[in-house]
Amino acid sequence: MEGQVRPVAPVAGESKSQRAYRWIKDRIADRTFGPGYRLVLGQIAKELDVSVVPVREAIRLLEAEGLVTFERNVGAQVVMVDETAYEHTMQTLALVEGFATSLSAPKLSAEDIERARAVNEQMRLSLENFEPHRFTELNQEFHSVLFEPCPNPHVLDLVHRGWHRLASLRDSTFSFVPGRAHESVKEHEQLLVLIEQNADPLELELAARRHRTATLDAYLDRRAAPPAEAP
């Protein structure tokens, strides 16, 4: 395997295929296995000290999630960066995360709101020495506070899949549109105010949806803009 070998900490009650799934998925998320990386089953099995069977099962799960592709005579690969896939993922996440946030709102405590506001403050402070990857981590932490209490497990699963899918497509959208980070922090506070005011669920859902699509729109506008001329 390429790169530095890291130990695989066991988890109680975890099957070999679940362990392989977690190990591969973690490395896709942190971009150790970047887009297009070829996943050699035998090498992964050797690394994890398991047979190829649980690794193959893990690959099938990751393929179902859209993180891995498998082609005959080619093998398994981490999905390539795809602009259309990114757009579709953001659109879908806007829908499901917006709905999840509206369902979660009644279950959020004052402590949850305080925690989310503290994370958003970290995001605001980080704007002074902007580091896109860290900002993205804080962004996910903020939104997790708002959507994790969602009482519908199927909706919550779709949200998790969307975030994992984004991690495989982009390390950080904010590296492409850093100016969007300032607006994002402001919109986070607006979402918290709506929750504190017990806003109508549809109003909150639409606000959360607009927040997500605004980032997508900023990215698409940047991609469509002509390149700046050299000075």
Q: What's the pLDDT at 227?
A: 43
Whole-number Å distance between alpha carbons of 21 and 56: 9
**Close Cβ partners of 205 (under 8 Å, ≥ 6 residues apart):** 98, 99, 101, 102
For CA atoms 116, 27, 61, 170, the dihedral sign is positive
> Which stretch of 23-37, 54-68, 90-104, 194-208 has the lowest confidence by average pLDDT?
23-37
Question: Which is nearest to 219 in space by CA: 164, 160, 186, 175?
Answer: 175
| Residue 21 predicted with pLDDT over 60 | yes
Mean pLDDT, residues 55-78: 87
Domains and CATH numbers, the chain: 16-78 (1.10.10.10), 83-224 (1.20.120.530)
For residue 69, what are the β-bridge partners? Answer: 77
Mean pLDDT over each residue of the chain, to the nearest integer: 87
Sheet holding 75-78, edge to edge: 38-39, 75-78, 68-71
Between CA 220 and CA 177 the distance in angstroms is 10
pLDDT tens readout for residues 5-19: 454 555 667 899 999
* pLDDT score of 9: 56
Chain segment 73-85, per-residue pLDDT in tens? 778 888 766 778 8
Q: What is the pLDDT of residues 157-180, one digit of tens each?
A: 999 999 988 887 776 778 668 889
Instruction: Concatenate the DSSP letters of all residues of 72-85 into one string.
Output: TTTEEEEPPP-HHH
pLDDT above 70 as % of the chain: 88
